[in-house]
Chains A and B, each alone.
Chain A
Amino acid sequence: MTDLLQFFSRHHREILQGTLEHIWLVGIAMLLAVGVGVPLGIVVAKRPWLSKPILGGANIAETIPSLALFGFLLPVPWLGGRADRLAITALALYALLPIIRNTSAGIAHVDSAVRDAARGMGMTERQILLQVELPLSFSTILAGIRIATVLTIGIATIAAAVGAGGLGEFIFRGLAMVNNQLILAGAIPAALLALGADFLLSLLERRFRPVRT
């Protein structure tokens, strides 16, 4: 235990560096995933005939083992050239499914009487979406983002396998050198990041939870 603490304090600079890289990878990937996933979730809720292809596609991305997904993306021209691009794209693909699913579920669960009233009052489809449906499904969407973030923080450790850096570096090096301290130097901060993100996002989620009448 004291050995581990000594190791951490001796290498705190590298660990901090790895943690920041990790946050960067996950952060950019999540921005992309939210930017693509929420609109797709809205499409799934509004256009049922598109829900099968979209959810199907996201489902397939989700089932590909992460290491294999990094491998698949390697030959893609613009992505394969840089490890961080490759890693961020793969992570964003993983994060998509929970975000799409929660966005569409959140919108679908808006009370139909509320939607009827909104239409009957003469709100346009756009006004209903922006002023009624999205605010009322905000906490469900946030729950999807929270699940995706925690998932992505874990999967991002594998990004080191393609040389994208992050906390996975320590884990892979530790595995290669059979050095538990090195493995823990990657695993503990990654776990703490996941717990921290989960906690902060759940606070936000609770803040926006709608009260059902």
Chain B
Amino acid sequence: MTNNPSDSTFQANDAGSPAIELRNVSYQLPDGRALLRNLNISVTSGETLVLLGRSGAGKSTALKLINRMLELSAGTILIDGKSTLDWDPIELRRHIGYVIQEIGLFPHYTVEQNISLVPRLERWPADRIRARVTELMKLVGLDTGEFLHRFPHQLSGGQRQRVGIARALAADPPILLMDEPFGALDPLTRGELQREFQQLEQLIHKTIVLVTHHVGEALLLGTRIGVMDAGVLVGIYSPKEFLTATEPVAAAYVANLRMYQRAEVKP
């Protein structure tokens, strides 16, 4: 084996390749109403792209097109270079973790059964599943002794969302889609979870698309922020660029943020 310098070039190139690519993506309802128009986004492997926008801007629709909960009206979505239409939808979704605001824990399953859902579908051996559940509960800060056999209705909102995140991470999917994951929580719990989430080491190498209408969350968690309005991507920025963006919707979000900052310093 010769030490070929082109190897490392190739490696670096590969790490920066898009994990998710949306090309000219449109989605319209059967009645013809367009929810997404001509969306072009490339999400680099390992980054956290935040989609920020009002309710109805098309953010959740974009996520659901990525894991094929909805079918494209036009355009192409590539996951790891392969069109979603060429993926088996079940296989595609197992490759992508999914967290939603309503969490959607199974009320008839315990915490353990909820978290181990995908590993069980994938028929992992029982001891591996048990070890993974313990690992994940530790990761999201839930004591196994106390919570393993509880049902969702016996948990607080924050605890439920922790279980929801653990469930999405269970089979270690390389991609994670998060639809308002902290949206239903009170501000303090929301902040705690955001901070913990930001520090989760298991997430560092994951490609994450996170949808929110919370500008603070976008700045805290995003490596890039895509601003959406009425089904169109109106701009895409690094957090730093975002703060000085002149595009009206982005600027409105920044103004909104500043309004709260000013309110804080009033005597």
Task: Kindly identify, within residues 87 to 135 of chain A, every residue whose CB is under 8 Å from any CB belonging to chain B.
Answer: 111, 113-124, 127, 132, 135
What class of interface size applies to chain A in its complex with B? 20 to 34
Contact status A117-B103, CB under 8 Å: yes
A114 to B104, CA, bound (A): 4
Closest chain B residue, CB of each to CB of A125: B90
Tell whether, in the assembled complex, residue B108 and residue A119 are in contact, meaning their CB atoms are under 8 Å apart. no
Selected from B93, B106, B107, B151, the residue in CB contact (under 8 A) with A120 is B93
Once A136-B107, A212-B107, A213-B152 are accepted as A-B contacts, the answer to whether A120 and B121 lie under 8 Å apart by CB is no
Q: How close is A34's CB to chain B, nearest CB, in angstroms?
A: 21
List of 9 A-B pairs having minimum Cβ-Cβ separation, nearest first: A117-B104, A113-B102, A120-B98, A122-B93, A122-B94, A113-B104, A213-B153, A211-B153, A114-B104
For B, the interface residue count at a CB cutoff of 8 angstroms equals 27
User: In the complex, which residues 57-79 of chain B have their Cβ closer than 8 Å to any Cβ of chain A?
Assistant: 67, 69
Note all chain B residues with C-beta closer than 8 A to A135: 108
Which chain A residue has the least Cβ–Cβ distance from B151?
A211
> Which residue of B93, B160, B177 contacts A213 across the interface (Cβ within 8 Å)?
B160
| Alpha-carbon separation in the docked complex, A194 to B107 (Å) | 33
Q: List 22 A-B contacts (CB under 8 A).
A: A111-B104, A113-B100, A113-B102, A113-B103, A114-B105, A117-B104, A117-B164, A121-B94, A121-B98, A122-B92, A122-B94, A124-B90, A132-B106, A135-B108, A136-B106, A210-B107, A211-B107, A211-B153, A212-B153, A213-B152, A213-B153, A213-B160
Interface residues of A in 132-181 (CB under 8 A from B): 132, 135-136
B91 on the interface (CB 8 Å rule)?
Answer: yes
